[in-house]
Structure 1
Amino acid sequence: MITAYEQLRDLVERARHAPLWPSGSDALGDRARPAAVLILFGVLDSIPSHHEAQHQAVSRDLDVLLLTRATTLRSHPGQVAFPGGRIDPEDDGPVSAALREAREETGVNTSGVEVLGALDPIALPHSSHTVTPVIGWWRRQSPVGVVDEAESQAVWRAPVADLVDPANRVTWVHRRADGAMRGPAWRLTGAGAEQFVWGFTAGILDRLLAALGWAEAWDESRVVSLS
């Protein structure tokens, strides 16, 4: 049986030749602000999911590291995100930046993280960022938690089985005068509270789960309206 680790490693390799999304490297031109996020999977959690996933690679203890941004932040307050941030001049590229930001935001010991590779950057025109997702595998356990309360209100690990559970999936809709925006979302429990995962983070998770063959059919007509 192929493992989650092997599937993630193979996905990164396939994405070199068949990208999961259009590359945003040149989409924003000179105004692009490069950033990177760490998408860290592992099977080290002692709090497994109650959902029995259809795909054998998705064990009940497989999870991904997430954080909930502080509500006092000007940008995306209270939203769930991957650890990450802008690529600084002293960083040696997206991988270095993603690991540094994860260490600063969650306290994770990055010496226990195996980097499987980076995916194509994604352009976010509204913020002028081009974000490179870095896929990692958590080989050695280390404590994680909120490092700076001004930046994050929670650091938590979402069981992948909960992410593929159709009962947790909804569609977010944001209606505006010029039309409506929509996308995949999740209602989860993390850090002892209900967590709503949507936007950029949910979009990436949705694409990854589908590309890995882990996604399960869900009711996309279940809508949560955002004000």
Structure 2
Amino acid sequence: MADGFAPLLAALARPGRPSSDFDLNPGTVLPEGRVLRPAGVLLVFEETPAGLRLYLTKRASHLRHHPGQIAFPGGKVEPGDAGPVAAALREAEEEIGLPRGTVEILGTLDPHETVTGFLVTPVLARLRAPFTPRPDPSEVEAVFTIPFSHLVSGRFRVESRHWRGGMRRYYVAPFGPHYIWGATARMLRALTDRMGR
């Protein structure tokens, strides 16, 4: 495998810990006996002469949940899926036209709990063949890449906003016109934490 992926593989070999949308809000009281729905998202990395780039999507503005937000391709585990990895691959094929055979699964991070009741498994993958995104307009407005070095260099910061009667703190990692925040930023922060950054 190309040397550019060595830091990612080393990070996956290190122990991690679960993350959640509540990490920065320790006073949050979560319901007893809550049932989380399993989901998977795909973190697709492409090696370029300038370094690794990570694929992200901008969700369609007409969606009911998280319209216009920056996200990874992925979604909930459906009955026909073998698990979060299969769900992430299926959703990436549906959302951005990524053929399953063009990626190599590198591993997974610890699950992330979202405020919307999902337990999301981040699945890391290497792009093995040229790929031209074909976003599904019913779900995705745009597909783009960012240099992974932007995240590794520690571009995360904490912001806050009013949410459900209180202040909610969350990670952000803006890149150009793209405001990466919330669960997406938190999962990326979990990855860079495992890289020791």
The TM-score bracket by the shorter chain reads: 0.7 to 0.9
Deviations 1:11-45 (A, max 9, x none): 2232xxx223269xxx985732111001111214x
Cα separation, 2, equivalents of 1:161 and 1:80: 18
Query: Could you tell me how far 1:110 is from its partner in structure 2?
Result: 2.1
**1:98 lines up with 2:88 in the alignment:** yes
- 1:162 maps to a residue whose letter is H
Instruction: State the superposition RMSD in angstroms.
Output: 2.5
Give 5+ residue unaligned stretches, structure 2: 21-30
**1:149 lines up with 2:137 in the alignment:** yes
Cα separation, 2, equivalents of 1:101 and 1:130: 16
Cα separation, 2, equivalents of 1:205 and 1:102: 18
How do residues 1-227 of structure 1 correspond to structure 2 at under 5 angstroms? 3-14=3-14, 18-21=15-18, 31-44=35-48, 60-124=50-114, 126-146=115-135, 148-164=136-152, 169-176=156-163, 178-189=165-176, 194-213=177-196, 215=197
Q: Would the aligned equivalents of 1:145 and 1:156 in 2 still touch at CA under 8 Å?
A: no
Aligned to 2:24: none
- 2:175 maps to a residue whose letter is L
The count of residues paired between Structure 1 and Structure 2 equals 186
Cα separation, 2, equivalents of 1:35 and 1:22: 14
Cα separation, 1, equivalents of 2:152 and 2:57: 19
Deviations 1:128-174 (A, max 9, x none): 2111111111122211131x2121111111111233456x6543211
Identity over aligned residues, as a percent?
Answer: 36
Cα separation, 2, equivalents of 1:197 and 1:35: 20
- 2:63 maps to a residue whose letter is L
Specify which structure has the bigger relative contact order, considering alpha-carbon pairs within 8 angstroms and separated by 6 or more residues: 2
Would you identify which runs of 4 or more consecutive aligned residues in structure 1 move more than 4 Å? 27-30
The TM-score with structure 1 as length reference comes to 0.73
